[in-house]
Structure 1
Amino acid sequence: MTHQVHAFEPPERFVAGTVGPPGERTFFLQARGGGRLVSVALEKVQVSLLAEKLEELLTEAQRRFGVQLPEAVTSVGDNDPLDTPVDEEFRVGTLGLAFDVDTATVVIEAIAAGEAETEVELGGDEDEDDDDEDDEEPDEDLDRLRVRLTPEATREFIERARRVVNAGRPPCPLCGQPLDPAGHLCPRHNGYHR
């Protein structure tokens, strides 16, 4: 079975974003470049973990390889919505991360969920050169989105991803579950509306 690799090395734009109202949002990674636009769907937890692991990857690259990192981004320059049309190429099952020492770039690979895949994974060899990453992968026949980002672009992606994740419904102050506009059945109130 043939698979399609959507490679953007580097992309003109690579962002995390959502479609839909809070509580019903669908999360996407979207890459644009060379006249192409690719959007892949994933879960909120995957976006959150991706931002967290990218930050760890940058810190480790600085520690092990002496990579000069830009200052942490405090504001996102790209607050624009996702480019349209948002056509889902595939649903992400696995996310892989690598740091290419030769080019001092971060490689992010979003791999389609397989037929039997049911769990959310975040994998990859941090701080490794990505030239041999396809050698032993069991999911080599799955579609994938691959982007290569500078440390600066990675920091911008991290900040935007965190804002997208946190832009949903506010948490209940008692139980931490998301609050709907009409309230919710809080377990701390024995199921009574608050």
Structure 2
Amino acid sequence: MPVFDYDPPDRFVAGALGQPGARAFFLQARAEGRLTTVALEKLQVEALAGRLDELLDEVLRKSGGTAHVPALAPADLADNGPLEQPIDEEFRVGTMALGWDEEDAKVVIEAQEIVDEDDFEGPEPAVLRVRITAGVARAFSQRALRLVAAGRPPCPLCGQPLDAAGHICVRLNGYRGGEVAS
């Protein structure tokens, strides 16, 4: 089982390639000349960002405000740069885990390779493990949420993504601008 361990990374970001509606999403970690890129789904990026903010809010709440956890992403930690090239995907993410290392005051993120549940004899799944400060985690979350929001706009009626080629809205019973959808 390869473990890609970054403690701490020089850079840890979520990014996407392609046009809205056909984007591929990635996590990238870089440190000491190493670069690891893993692929994941848009919903996984959104869930990771949301859970990171929830975890940090909970750490701050439980500490009574004494933990070194910023309430918002520090502006000096913002990373708006593109994904680093080349994009060589190590694996596709299946499950993710988050934790708070109280001793080091760091967030631990683990992204595990997707596995075939029927393959009991296969190798152990690969893991990307990143340990980052609370400020870096807030900045990561802010970028990831902007990335997800930059996709196709939602339909005002049903909330499904609108395509440039049209949209079959379930709230209009399959009608599209007066035409029957096929």
Q: TM-score, normalising length from structure 1?
A: 0.82
Q: Which has the larger radius of gyration?
A: 2
Number of aligned residue pairs: 171
Pair 1:182 & 2:180 matched: no
Query: What CA distance in whole angstroms lies between the structure 1 residues aligned with 2:136 and 2:148?
Result: 18
Shift of 1:140: 9.0
The residue correspondences of 1:11-160 to structure 2 (distance < 5 A) are 11-65=9-63, 66-73=66-73, 77-116=78-117, 141-160=124-143
Distance 1:6 1:13 in 2: 14
CA apart distance, 1:63: 2.7
Please give the residue correspondences for 1:164-183 in structure 2 after superposition, counting only pairs within 5 Å. Answer: 164-183=147-166
CA distance in 1, matches of 2:161, 2:16: 17
Gaps of 5+ in 2: 178-182
Match of 1:188, SS?
A: helix
Taking the aligned partners of 1:115 and 1:38, their CA distance within structure 2 comes to 22
Q: Which runs of 5+ in 1 are unaligned?
A: 118-138
Q: Please state if 1:192 is matched with 2:171.
A: no
The SS at the match of 2:104 is: coil
Q: Which amino acid aligns with 2:69?
A: L
Distance 1:41 1:191 in 2: 34
- Taking every aligned residue pair, what percent have the same amino acid on both sides? 53
Instruction: Write the distance in 2 (CA, Å) between the matches of 1:63 and 1:141.
Output: 37
8 Å Cα contact 1:74/1:159 also seen in 2: no
Structure 2 Cα separation of the partners of residues 67 and 114 of structure 1: 37
> What secondary structure sits across from 1:52 in the alignment?
helix
Q: Name the SS of the counterpart of 2:175 in structure 1.
A: coil
Match of 1:126 in 2: none
